[in-house]
């Protein structure tokens, strides 16, 4: 179900090449799409939510370990157009 939701969001945002729009809102949508695709292709990040505002990727949710949190942040940083990453990702209680 989550995969279907991600695919629906990606389809709604459209598929474009690496060139970003000049419109800041569209650019944020493009960045959001790319961060979501990068993260949600991996089940470890299934509980991570993403938002993008003015090029800042905001990550929230839960992962199982510190390494996963750092990797989610690194993945967001690797997306073209991301100016900053703000993470509120928490570790799952054991």
Q: What is the pTM of this model?
A: 0.75
pLDDT in tens, 42-75: 999 999 999 999 999 999 999 999 999 999 999 9
Tell me the per-residue pLDDT of 10-48, one tens digit each, with 9 for 90 and over.
555 555 445 777 887 899 999 999 999 999 889 999 999
As a residue count, the chain comes to 94
Q: In what order do the strands lie in the sheet with 48-53?
A: 48-53, 56-63, 84-91
Report whether 56 contacts 87 (CB < 8 A): no
Which pLDDT score, from 0 to 100, does residue 69 have? 97
Three-state secondary structure call for residue 89: strand
pLDDT for residue 23: 81
Nearest alpha-carbon partner for 29 in 61, 64, 62, 54? 54
d(CA 89, CA 74): 13
Domain 2-91 has CATH 3.30.1340.30: yes
């Amino acid at each position: 179900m989550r995969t279907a939701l991600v695919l629906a969001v990606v389809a709604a945002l459209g598929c474009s090449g690496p060139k970003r729009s000049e419109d800041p809102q569209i650019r944020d949508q493009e960045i959001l799409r790319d961060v979501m695709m990068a993260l949600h292709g991996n089940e470890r990040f299934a509980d991570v939510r993403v938002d993008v505002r003015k090029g800042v990727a905001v990550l929230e949710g839960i992962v199982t370990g510190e390494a996963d949190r750092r990797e989610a942040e690194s993945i967001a940083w690797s997306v073209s157009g991301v100016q900053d990453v703000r993470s509120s990702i928490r570790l799952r209680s054991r």
